[in-house]
Structure 1
Amino acid sequence: MKKFLGAVLGGALTMSFSVLAAEPVATAATAAAPAVSSGVGGQLTQLVFGLLLVLGLIFLLAWLLRRVQQAGPAGKGQVIEIVGSRALGPRDRLMLVQVGNEQILLGLSPGSITALHVLKEPVQVPSTEKPTPEFAQRLLEMLGKDQKDKK
């Protein structure tokens, strides 16, 4: 990718230097004549097309990246599921994780994960619907879309 960008930038610089070399040197007789703006319009068009090309390339790469990430392992085949989570402070959390038939209570802090307790009986979660963060839920309500309509 770096070689490609280097080649594109090098080609653009070479092209601009060749355009500058092709322009005639202004003399006293031509200095009094008004400047012709046809070259400026061509340069502006080239600039706009170049910007559109770069933006199109960015959107193409973003779309491609999303497609590649979706082609990865599916969420349904996961062995480890997060049953619940509770914030204890700005950087510390408790998480209840289910691995197979076993549930483990984990303590998460910056730089460490500690298994606090292995539950003998799994905790039953009352709703099978994943909880929506409060902000997302309120945003959906403001837009007039209920979560039940998503199903």
Structure 2
Amino acid sequence: MRRLPLALPALLPAPALAEEAGSTLMEPLAGGRILEILLGLFAVLVFIGVVAWLVRRMPGLTRSADGSLRVVAGIPVGQRERILLVEVGGEQIVVGVAPGRVELLHHLAEPVSSTTKGDEGSDFAHRLQERLQRLRSRK
């Protein structure tokens, strides 16, 4: 019974509430309001685009639930085709991925160690450092 007086204004028709407010209401399609609405919509769309870009760039967000499946490495071989090295429960397989199709290419008897990838990265860093030193010595 005590809640009924609190709910009573919600039962009043909207024109009665509008009359009480008087001239404080703004037209929803007034000049500045349209610009505000469009800028707000643009900000939301930019935010969605940024979040989608981040999700695609962060491989840690696309892991399987229990961690038993992960992509070790991948290389594009065409415009929409890739070859992936996938680790499944300690075993590694090479699969070809194309739109609408995934095909087993090879089952590795001996898994490729992940240290090889780190060595390539440090080799690249070493070569980059040498190249930068050569460029600096020329000046």
Q: TM-score range by the shorter chain?
A: 0.3 to 0.5
More helix by share: 2
- The normalised TM-score by structure 2 is 0.41
